Amino acid sequence: MSVIAAGPVIPTFGKGSSCVTGDHTFCWDWVRAHWGDTLGPALWQHVELTAIAVVIGFAIAFPLALLAHRYRRLEQPFGIFSALLYTVPSLALFQLLVPFTGLTWTTVEIALVSYTLVILFPNIVQGLESAPDDVIEAARGMGLTRLQVLTRVELPLAVPAIIGGLRIAVVSTVAIATIAAFLLPTGLGYPIFLALKEPTPFKTEIYSAGALAVALAIGCDGLLVVLRRVLVPWASKGLA
């Protein structure tokens, strides 16, 4: 993991344009000059942080949700556990993990995965349970096996709720991942972190990194909306 060179901000302060040295509201020239060494890599790291957290979170939440759907008794304990986890403030969760896993990428991902898990699990369970009773009865009555009811009826009908969960998980992970900079020099949080450490916080860096995080969240959300359209052609065709 390449750590962003500790320096890009402080030295540039002195030798930048008048906009930069005067710390005006927003300096496009700084953004252009530091896309390559600061913003671009930070954005890419942020995408990585988010993608890994969501993928692992989904990979854990999905089988757990299937289990909870199959054995209803498990749903409540799982639900309570994840609700409790969600109440722990993210910064605190990062700090709680440090004694065990250190100031590492693992610590960051464990925390981020926990949050995606907490969001994805109930959404997937709810999606699996969204198939109307009459649809399930018809399916069983026609001779679908339990597995066929799951794969051909319950799962397809759960797709809208699953994508809904993914949207919330992705957007909140993009936001929470900025806090990872408290532990590791990584992600869009790190330029913000450094800019805040200046004697006077460097506005352009804060705004540009912040704007990239927002753009990333909106972009991912948009992709999921498109995915929903593609996967769920039936939902948009209701009688108005």
Partner 1 sequence: MNAAEITFDHVTKRYAGREAAAVDDLSLEIPAGAFCILVGPSGGGKTTALKMVNRLIPFDSGDIRIDGRSIRDLPVVELRREIGYVIQQVGLFPHMTIGENIGTVPRLLGWPKARINTRCIDLLELVGLEASDMKRYPAELSGGQRQRVGLARALAADPPLLLMDEPFGALDPITRFRLQTEMSRLHREVEKTVIFVTHDIDEAIQLGTHIAILREGGVLAQYDTPDAILAHPADDFVAKFIGEDRALRRLALKKLTDVQLEQADGAQEGPRVSIETTVRNAVSLLLDTKADRLLVENDNGEVVGAFRFSDAGALL
- Say if CB 78 and CB 121 are below 8 A apart: yes
Residues 232, 61, 96, 46, CA torsion sign? negative
* Shortest distance in whole angstroms from residue 136 CB to partner 1: 8
CB nearer to partner 1: pick between 101 and 148: 148
Size of the site for partner 1 (CB under 8 A): 26
Residue ranges of alpha helices (H) inside 102-234 are 105-128, 133-141, 146-148, 155-177, 189-197, 203-231
143 binds partner 1 (CB under 8 A): yes
43 binds partner 1 (CB under 8 A): no
Residues 28, 32, 38, 41, CA torsion sign? positive
The token pair at 137 is: 């009865």
* Shortest distance in whole angstroms from residue 153 CB to partner 1: 6
CB nearer to partner 1: pick between 15 and 237: 237
- Say if CB 191 and CB 42 are below 8 A apart: yes
164 binds partner 1 (CB under 8 A): no
134 binds partner 1 (CB under 8 A): yes
Q: Contact with partner 1 (CB under 8 A): which of 119, 153, 179, 192?
A: 153
Q: Which stretch binds partner 1 (CB under 8 A): 33-41, 46-54, 104-112, 226-234?
A: 226-234
* Shortest distance in whole angstroms from residue 131 CB to partner 1: 9
* Shortest distance in whole angstroms from residue 139 CB to partner 1: 7
CA gap 194, 210 in Å, rounded: 13
Q: Contact with partner 1 (CB under 8 A): which of 156, 201, 219, 222?
A: 156
Q: Contact with partner 1 (CB under 8 A): which of 7, 77, 132, 219?
A: 132
In Å, how far are 83, 152, 154, 231 from 159, measured between CA atoms? 22, 12, 9, 8
137 binds partner 1 (CB under 8 A): yes
237 binds partner 1 (CB under 8 A): yes
151 binds partner 1 (CB under 8 A): no
CA gap 194, 51 in Å, rounded: 24
CB nearer to partner 1: pick between 144 and 227: 144
* Shortest distance in whole angstroms from residue 126 CB to partner 1: 16
Spatial neighbors of 236 by CB under 8 A, at least 6 apart, are: 229
Q: Which of 96, 158, 164, 91 is nearest to 127 (CA)?
A: 158
Catalog residues that contact partner 1 under the rule CB under 8 A.
132, 134-145, 148, 152-153, 156-157, 159, 232-235, 237-239
